[in-house]
Amino acid sequence: MIPVEGVENQTIAVLGLGRSGKATAAALKAGGARVIAWDDGVDTREAAAADGWEIVDLTRDAGWDGVSALITSPGIPHLYPKPHPVIEKAMRLGVPVDNDIGLFFRSFATDEWNEFDRIPRVIAVTGSNGKSTTTALIHHILEECGRPTQMGGNIGTGVLSLNPAEDGEVVVLELSSYQTDLARALTPDVAVFTNLSPDHLDRHSGLGGYFAAKRRLFAEGGPDRAVVGVDEIEGLYLADQLSMGPSDDRVIRISSETKLDGPGWSVFAKKGFLSEYRKGRQAASIDLREVKGLPGAHNHQNACAAYAACRAVGLAPREIEAAFHSFSGLPHRSQTVAEIGGVRYVNDSKATNVDAAAKALQAFDRIRWIAGGLGKEGGITALQPFLGRVTKAYLIGHSARDFALEIGQTPYEIAETMEQAVAHAAAEAEPGETVLLAPAAASFDQYPNFEKRGEHFVTLVEGLRPAEG
């Protein structure tokens, strides 16, 4: 746990008592604060009270006597579509509102660092797509290279539940727009912007507000190095705003679409090769085509972002390249589960929409495609340009028959269940083909979440292995 600095003998209110809220309350208490808490859920409040937390009704004015700050969980709206009543009350009373990310950045550095040989550093990753994979890949590379490291934020451990830093440690954080939008302190050493596509638009009142929330990671504290994906106009704009000139190597531009070989510092992937350029000269090249944990152009962009971030903290190209090859990918995101009889089995259960499924379909050739579930508005007709790689589709779940009408001339069967889809795909697959779970649909018709769907696929694939003996 990281005790919160600067709160001793203050009364701090915490709104939301989920995982991050409880961790925040504990870190505030460890920092010497009196913590009062509120949650809209009666059962949650009662459970927290049973655990010893002081529950105060923050919807009433009387609950605010002596409160110095309100710390809110990231999922609770503070501005759009409208602020939570407790947050609005805090703002009307002039009580500062913050979140656990802001508390982390103001509390991470301690006097103990004066005795360290190497100052700890923070790499923070944001963006629309790929930020979880990029965060996990950076953490994996650091581990493989023997650097002390922790991973947290929107992935893994809550930021205030991390351990105090060790000498030379690098903390890697995934930060969502919900987290960056409100945090009062945002001071990473290296900040990464992967890309931007429309998401959470109601929460940010449109694409401009969504981008503004991401941009705060770079604008509020000014990282020493900024790694910026420039394949969208927003990334181009951000890189330009941060740079003092064409050769300013504080900004590392990355791309999975365009060769970047100007006078600055850039990392890009073309035709499966990652290249690093500095001052107009190539500094390194890595063949990504044989990195099984990072298939497809979208993962090559993740590789560029992770490579650049690791170079920014002093790792060598060959160290990073070796670590790429031992990265197995995140569960349910283009995860290679097994190769059995020359057939590759890939779990991309996280591909719950058309955009994500399109990326998965572009990553492989000769695909036996398992798709379906609870279809989303608009269907999957937009996937037709990517179906030339599909040998056959095996359609499951509620929308199986709707999907069958939307995939043109692609051969298919209505498999109904995951068991039948995996069994039939495995029986018909030939060496060199890939059995790909990329549903392009939500899971809720047959599974509680995409993780359970992916786990079921993995279990079925493991059952295909020939018995030893």
Mean pLDDT of the chain: 95
Condensed to tens digits (0 to 9), the pLDDT of residues 270-303 reads 999 999 999 999 999 999 998 989 998 889 999 9
| Segments of the chain assigned to CATH 3.40.1190.10 | 111-325
Q: Is the pLDDT of residue 133 over 60?
A: yes
Q: Is 132 annotated as a binding residue?
A: yes
Query: Which pLDDT band, with edges at 50, 70 and 90, does 223 fall under?
Result: very high
Q: What is the mean pLDDT of residues 230-252?
A: 96
Backbone torsions φ then ψ of 141, nearest 5 degrees: -60, -45
Q: What is the mean pLDDT of residues 365-374?
A: 97
Q: Is 129 annotated as a binding residue?
A: yes
Q: What is the mean pLDDT of residues 318-325?
A: 97
Distances from the Cα of 57 to the Cα of 36, 51, 54, 93, angstroms:
9, 17, 10, 15
Q: What is the mean pLDDT of residues 423-431?
A: 97
Q: How far apart are CA 17 and CA 45, in angstroms?
A: 8
pLDDT, residue 232, reads 95
Backbone torsions φ then ψ of 148, nearest 5 degrees: -60, 135
Q: Is 399 annotated as a binding residue?
A: no
- Are 264 and 301 a contacting pair, CB within 8 Å? no
Tell me which H or E stretch contains 323. Answer: helix 317-325
State both tokens at 449: 């979440």
Query: Which pLDDT band, with edges at 50, 70 and 90, does 213 fall under?
Result: very high
pLDDT, residue 468, reads 61
Q: How far apart are CA 79 and CA 136, in angstroms?
A: 30
pLDDT, residue 158, reads 92
246-255, 287-296, 419-428 — which is least confidently predicted? Answer: 287-296
Q: Is 128 annotated as a binding residue?
A: yes
Q: What is the mean pLDDT of residues 24-46?
A: 97
* 186, 188, 192, 196: CA torsion to nearest 10: 0
Looking at CATH, the fold of the domain delimited by 11-98 is given as: Rossmann fold (3.40.50)
| Segments of the chain assigned to CATH 3.40.50.720 | 11-98
Which candidate, 64, 73, 66, places its Cα nearest to that of 14?
73
Condensed to tens digits (0 to 9), the pLDDT of residues 301-313 reads 999 999 999 999 9
Condensed to tens digits (0 to 9), the pLDDT of residues 195-208 reads 998 878 899 999 99
Q: Is 292 annotated as a binding residue?
A: no
Query: Which pLDDT band, with edges at 50, 70 and 90, does 469 fall under?
Result: low
pLDDT, residue 355, reads 86
Number of H helices and E strands in the chain, helices first, is 15, 20
How distant is the alpha carbon of residue 109 from its chain centre?
Answer: 24
pLDDT, residue 221, reads 81
Q: Is 44 annotated as a binding residue?
A: no
pLDDT, residue 174, reads 97
Domain spanning 335-462: which CATH class is it, in words?
Answer: alpha beta
pLDDT, residue 222, reads 85
Condensed to tens digits (0 to 9), the pLDDT of residues 374-385 reads 998 889 999 999
Which candidate, 276, 269, 265, places its Cα nearest to that of 226?
265
Q: Is 326 annotated as a binding residue?
A: no
| Segments of the chain assigned to CATH 3.90.190.20 | 335-462
Kindly report the CATH number that applies to the domain delimited by 111-325: 3.40.1190.10
Backbone torsions φ then ψ of 16, nearest 5 degrees: 100, 120
Query: Which pLDDT band, with edges at 50, 70 and 90, does 425 fall under?
Result: very high
